[in-house]
Structures are given as structure tokens and as C-alpha cells.
């Protein structure tokens, strides 16, 4: 039997962008993952589909696993030969009970590895514009837990010593105990006017900060309605928050945006939106399904030297074409004499990755642009091969046949709704609806609304939507969407800029 191993992995303070490369590598190979409540859903999305998922729950809440049960489960899973990831918020060795779990594993003879995570002690203040050290203000910082182990008896925190510290104090998980923290510091001589901050859900879309003086902090937190998890910072460095606040200055900070592109296509759009400060929710409404090669398809792929033009309708068309070539054992060199047209720059770039150059790429990245580009190209009697999806539009096909081309459609894949899409959309609307929707194709729109329960369609149609191209816009209007905006050019970069421009013209209340 394969020998199992446990990885004690820190997921960071909340922002999935702070996950380490080693953590990503370990998660990608995990066979069982035991995770905490504060781990971001996008990090959980890295877990392999076939891996066993075990939710540890929230500490102190009904239904959550106790530490003893967690220890036993880690040992049992590892002894069954699995690669086990114990996924924790922050760093496993900073108030994360990682040391306790490591000792249990060592005594049980289970090999383990610690994968450190970015600690909330430094990351949360940084996201609030607060450096825990500053050459002129603080040369040290002290990290204190807001929840001591009750089994220890007498509290181990030396409040008199903490009150005398001239550096920065950082209290993790300290919101419930905030009145005690403040009263103890004041009682032992801490200046009541010491700058301080309480930061809720640091590094995430829900981050909220309260700044003030030590004596006023419990009242300010209560009035602001802050809730756990929260980090409390005490020290002169807090006064720098106003000047060093970088998070809320990003153009899309405070906006929640839905991305509906396919699983392999959303990275660019999601990354660009995140860079602008948006909270991105990914619910792909399109999935590429390769079709098995028929005898006729194989014959076509093996006779490419007979075509004068080859047309690719999308990046997916390029990728599936190359897959088909490999399966049909057809040489790429058979395309040497053919001229190639691509529907857009992204498709042309994908083609370049295989060493092929496009001869015709319209400025307008859609079929209408390609139709216009072919107007002055003689096609009468020319053999044209067009690689496309099974449910593709026939606009270009009709235009080329009208010009006298001998057209052969090559259908290698189809678009379909991924399994579980309807459930994910219902869950999203049940928690918090997005402020904006984004659609890159008409099929993405149709699949999105078709997957929604009828009771939610009207609600979704009331949300502003950014779309690529007039055909996509027409599909959105068909479903009742009226607040639409689209970029001048049909590209992901231009869509992101259109989102930014729209939000500037329509600022959200309370942002």
C-alpha cells in the first residue's frame, strides 16, 4: 500500500492571490483535503475534482469538528495511503494549531510537511495601509492571540509588559475580547490616545476598517457593526493608514463582478478584474466538449493541402483543431500552402503558439468583421475549411458561400452548460448577488439565463451587464437585460476598461 503523507498548509489571510506556489502545488495533487471555514472558495477550487473534501467547520460552532477528531482523521486518512492536505487560514504555526497536529502525526509515525502561509498578523494591516514596522515609529511588533486556551487556567498574557511595549501590538481573533484587551492595556498604563485600528475580514472583498484612539475603539467598533474575523492593531503606525491606503483606491474596489466564461478562458478576464480591485465570482456557463473524430473528419484533416483557406472562429477552435490533427496523425506541414483567417487577435495569438501565422485578422473581433475583411478577397471556386463549434453562428458561412466559396465546416467540439451550474448560481444569489455581470458570447448569456430558476431570472436581468459584441448584447436584451454596456472593440482588455468606465459613471452608494 502507498504510504500516505500530511501537508499542513497555510491558505493565507483571505485573498486567494496570497496563496504560495508550494501550497498550490500540494493542493493540485491532494487526495483528501480537510479545510477551515475561512478558506476562500477560489482556493478550494484548486482541489482536484476527485479528492475527498472534509469541512472542519468554524471553531466553537455547532457541527464543527473538534481538534481531537481532526487529529484522528488526519492519521486515519494518511494510514489509508492518501496525500492529505490540512488547509488552514493564515499560517499553520501562528495560532493555527499546526504544531499540535504535527506532534500527533510524528507520534503516529506519519510523515508530514509544513507549508507556511502569509500570516494575517502582517497581511491584514498591510491591506489596511498599516505597516507593522516603520523606521521612525516602530522597530518591532508583537503578535497576541485574542483567544487563549481556557484549559491553561491562569491567563498567560502579561498585560503590564504589553502596555509598556513601544512597538506595534497586533491582536488576532480579538474582536470578542476587545473590551478586555482595551481595559487591560489602559489599566496597565497604555496611553488612551494611542492610535489603533480594528480590521474586519482583512484582505478580502468584505474588508472594513475602523480607526481611532485606544480608549474609543470598543465604542467605534460597536457603532460600525464590525463582525469576526477581525484583527486589532495598536501603535503609532496606525496613523499612516490614511496615506498608505492602496486597496480602496483601486477603480473596482467595492464591486462584485460575475465572470461566466468557460473554465479555461476565464483566467485573463478574472485576473484583469482582480487587478482593478473587483471581487470576482466565477460561475462558468460554457464548457468545451471535444467531439469524437468520425471517419469523415479524419479524412478531412488528412487532406488539408487541398484547401486554399482555413478559418478559425475562436481560440477553442485552434486548440481543438490541433487536438484533431494529433489524433488523426495528420502533419501540420500540410497547411504550408493555405492562407489562414482568424476571427480575432486572441485566436491569432493562439495559432502563433503552434508556429502558424494568420494572413487575415479583422479589427472587429467577431464574424461580422471577418465578413467585411473577406469582401475584397476572391473566393469563387476556392476550397475553404472553417473550424467551429457545433452550435456556431452561420453568418460567416452564408457570406462565404454567397461569394462562391466551396465551404467545408469542420465541427470538432460543442459548447454546453457545465454540470452543477444551476446549483452554483442559486447559491450565489442566495448569499449576495453580484453588482455586475460579464458575458463574452451570446451562448454564455443563453446558458446563464437558462440555468437560472425562473424565479431568479427577473432579478438577474435587473443587474447591469458588460458584453462583448452586438450579438451578445442582443441575446442579453432577449432575456430582459436593459442596463447594458459594451466596449468598442471585442476583446477582454476592452471589456475590463468598459467595466471600469461604467462604474465611474454609476458609483455605488456606500463605496
Task: Identify the CATH number of the domain in which residue 403 sits.
Answer: 3.40.50.10090
Burial code of 333-361, b = ≥16 C-beta within 10 A, e = fewer? ebbeebbbbbbbbbbbebbeeeebebebb
Give the per-residue pLDDT at 62: 52
- pLDDT for 76-87, tens place per residue? 999 999 999 999
How far apart (Å, rounded) are the C-alpha atoms in residues 405 and 402?
7
* pLDDT at 339 > cutoff 80: yes
**Chain center to CA of 112:** 28
Whole domain around residue 212: which residue ranges? 122-244
**Chain center to CA of 85:** 20
DSSP characters over 159-189: HHHHHH--SEEEEET-STTHHHHHHHHHHTT
Are 301 and 393 part of one and the same domain?
Answer: yes
- Mean pLDDT for the stretch of residues 332-347: 83
Q: Is residue 327 part of a domain?
A: yes
All cell numbers assigned to 221: 467598533
Helix (H) or strand (E) holding 374, with range, is none
Q: Is residue 97 part of a domain?
A: yes
All cell numbers assigned to 406: 466551396
Are 376 and 402 part of one and the same domain?
Answer: yes
Are 321 and 303 part of one and the same domain?
Answer: yes
* pLDDT at 371 > cutoff 90: no
**Chain center to CA of 48:** 16
> What pairs with residue 35 in β-bridges?
55, 87
- pLDDT for 163-177, tens place per residue? 999 999 999 987 889
Give the per-residue pLDDT at 457: 94
CATH number at residue 197: 3.30.950.10
Give the per-residue pLDDT at 23: 97
How far apart (Å, rounded) are the C-alpha atoms in residues 509 and 374?
48
CATH number at residue 65: 3.40.1010.10
SS (H, E, C) 264-313: CCHHHHHHHHHHCCCEEEECCCCEEEECCCCHHHHHHHCCHHHCCEEEEC
* pLDDT at 364 > cutoff 70: no
Are 172 and 319 part of one and the same domain?
Answer: no
- pLDDT for 456-469, tens place per residue? 999 999 999 999 88
Are 94 and 146 part of one and the same domain?
Answer: no
Are 56 and 153 part of one and the same domain?
Answer: no
- CA gyration radius, the chain: 28
Are 267 and 338 part of one and the same domain?
Answer: no
Q: Residue 46: which residues within 8 A CB-CB, separation 6 or more?
A: 24, 27, 28
Bond preceding residue 213 cis, omega within 30 of 0: no
**Chain center to CA of 91:** 21
What percent of the chain has a predicted confidence (pLDDT) above 70? 93
Burial code of 133-163, b = ≥16 C-beta within 10 A, e = fewer? ebeebbeebbbbebeeeeeeeeeebebeebb
- pLDDT for 116-138, tens place per residue? 999 999 999 999 999 999 999 99
* pLDDT at 71 > cutoff 90: yes
The structure's pTM equals 0.77
Are 154 and 84 part of one and the same domain?
Answer: no
Q: Is residue 156 part of a domain?
A: yes
Q: Are 37 and 65 in contact (CB under 8 A)?
A: no
- Mean pLDDT for the stretch of residues 225-244: 95
Pick the last residue of a domain from 79, 94, 118. Answer: 118
SS (H, E, C) 120-143: HHHHHHHHCCCCCCECCCECCEEE
Are 150 and 212 part of one and the same domain?
Answer: yes
Q: Is residue 510 part of a domain?
A: no
Three-state secondary-structure class, residue 318: helix
* pLDDT at 148 > cutoff 80: no
Q: Is residue 250 part of a domain?
A: no
Q: Are 368 and 395 in contact (CB under 8 A)?
A: yes
Are 49 and 194 part of one and the same domain?
Answer: no
Are 14 and 33 part of one and the same domain?
Answer: yes
Give the per-residue pLDDT at 510: 57
Pick the last residue of a domain from 118, 153, 186. Answer: 118
Average pLDDT of every residue of the chain: 89
**Domain count along the chain:** 4
* pLDDT at 449 > cutoff 70: yes
All cell numbers assigned to 340: 489562414
Q: Residue 509 — φ and ψ, nearest 5°?
A: -70, 135
Q: Is residue 138 part of a domain?
A: yes
Helix (H) or strand (E) holding 262, with range, is none
- List Cα–Cα distances, 123 to 169, 176, 203, in angstroms: 14, 21, 7
Q: How many CB atoms lie within 10 A of CB 49?
A: 4
Dihedral sign (CA 385, 388, 390, 391): negative
Pick the last residue of a domain from 384, 416, 448. Answer: 416
Report CA dihedral (104, 107, 112, 116) to the nearest 10 degrees: 50
- Mean pLDDT for the stretch of residues 363-377: 72
* pLDDT at 263 > cutoff 70: no
- List Cα–Cα distances, 335 to 338, 357, 385, 396, 406, in angstroms: 5, 11, 11, 21, 17
How far apart (Å, rounded) are the C-alpha atoms in residues 154 and 494?
61
* pLDDT at 234 > cutoff 70: yes
Dihedral sign (CA 498, 499, 501, 506): positive
Q: Residue 136: which residues within 8 A CB-CB, separation 6 or more?
A: none
Are 404 and 457 part of one and the same domain?
Answer: no
How far apart (Å, rounded) are the C-alpha atoms in residues 132 and 124?
10
- pLDDT for 274-316, tens place per residue? 999 999 998 888 888 899 999 999 999 998 888 998 988 888 8
Looking at per-residue confidence, does 45 or 209 come out higher?
209
Q: Residue 367 — φ and ψ, nearest 5°?
A: -60, -35
Amino acid at each position: 500500500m502507498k504510504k500516505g503523507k500530511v501537508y499542513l498548509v497555510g491558505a493565507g489571510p483571505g485573498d486567494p492571490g496570497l496563496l504560495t506556489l508550494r501550497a498550490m502545488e500540494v493542493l493540485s495533487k491532494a487526495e483528501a483535503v480537510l479545510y477551515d471555514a475561512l478558506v476562500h472558495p477560489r482556493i478550494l477550487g484548486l482541489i482536484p475534482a476527485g479528492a475527498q473534501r472534509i469541512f472542519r467547520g468554524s471553531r466553537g460552532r455547532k457541527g464543527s469538528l473538534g481538534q481531537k477528531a481532526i487529529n484522528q482523521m488526519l492519521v486515519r486518512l494518511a494510514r489509508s495511503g492518501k496525500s492529505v492536505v490540512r488547509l488552514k487560514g493564515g499560517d499553520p504555526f501562528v495560532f493555527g494549531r499546526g504544531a499540535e497536529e504535527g506532534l500527533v502525526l510524528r507520534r503516529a509515525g506519519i510523515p508530514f510537511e509544513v507549508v507556511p502561509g502569509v500570516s494575517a498578523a502582517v497581511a491584514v494591516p498591510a491591506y489596511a495601509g498599516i505597516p507593522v514596522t516603520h523606521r521612525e515609529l516602530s522597530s518591532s511588533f508583537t503578535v497576541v492571540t485574542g483567544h487563549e486556551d481556557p484549559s491553561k487556567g491562569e491567563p498567560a498574557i502579561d498585560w503590564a509588559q504589553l502596555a509598556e511595549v513601544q512597538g506595534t501590538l497586533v491582536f488576532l481573533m480579538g474582536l470578542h475580547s476587545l473590551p478586555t484587551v482595551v481595559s487591560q492595556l489602559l489599566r496597565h498604563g497604555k496611553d488612551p490616545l494611542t492610535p489603533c485600528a480594528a480590521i474586519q475580514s482583512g484582505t478580502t472583498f468584505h474588508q472594513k476598517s475602523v480607526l481611532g484612539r485606544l480608549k474609543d475603539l470598543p465604542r467605534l467598533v460597536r457603532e460600525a457593526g464590525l463582525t469576526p474575523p477581525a484583527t486589532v492593531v495598536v501603535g503609532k503606525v496606525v496613523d499612516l493608514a490614511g496615506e498608505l491606503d492602496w486597496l480602496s483606491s483601486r477603480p473596482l474596489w467595492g464591486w462584485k463582478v460575475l465572470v461566466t466564461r468557460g473554465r479555461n478562458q476565464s483566467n485573463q478576464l478574472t485576473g484583469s478584474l482582480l487587478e482593478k480591485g473587483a471581487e470576482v465570482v466565477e460561475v462558468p456557463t460554457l464548457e468545451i466538449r471535444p467531439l469524437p473524430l468520425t471517419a469523415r473528419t479524419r479524412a478531412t484533416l488528412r487532406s488539408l493541402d487541398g484547401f486554399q483557406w482555413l478559418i478559425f472562429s475562436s481560440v477553442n477552435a485552434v486548440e481543438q483543431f490541433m487536438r484533431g490533427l494529433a489524433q488523426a496523425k495528420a502533419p501540420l506541414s500540410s497547411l504550408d500552402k493555405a492562407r489562414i483567417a482568424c476571427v480575432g487577435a486572441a485566436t491569432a495569438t493562439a495559432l502563433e503558439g503552434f508556429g502558424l501565422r494568420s494572413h487575415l485578422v479583422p479589427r472587429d473581433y467577431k464574424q461580422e468583421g471577418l465578413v467585411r475583411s473577406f469582401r475584397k478577397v476572391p473566393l469563387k471556386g476556392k476550397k475553404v475549411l472553417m473550424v467551429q463549434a457545433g452550435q456556431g453562428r452561420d453568418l460567416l458561412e452564408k457570406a462565404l458561400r454567397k461569394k462562391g466559396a466551396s465551404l467545408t465546416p469542420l465541427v470538432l467540439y460543442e459548447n454546453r452548460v457545465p454540470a452543477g451550474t444551476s446549483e452554483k448560481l442559486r447559491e450565489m444569489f442566495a448569499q449576495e448577488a453580484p453588482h455586475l455581470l460579464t458575458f463574452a458570447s451570446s451562448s454564455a448569456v443563453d446558458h446563464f439565463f437558462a440555468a437560472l430558476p425562473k424565479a431568479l431570472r427577473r432579478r438577474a436581468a435587473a443587474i447591469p451587464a458588460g458584453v462583448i459584441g452586438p450579438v451578445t448584447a442582443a441575446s442579453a436584451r432577449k432575456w430582459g437585460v436593459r442596463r447594458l454596456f459594451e466596449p468598442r472593440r471585442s476583446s477582454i482588455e476592452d471589456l475590463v476598461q468598459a467595466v471600469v468606465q461604467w462604474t465611474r459613471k454609476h458609483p455605488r452608494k456606500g463605496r
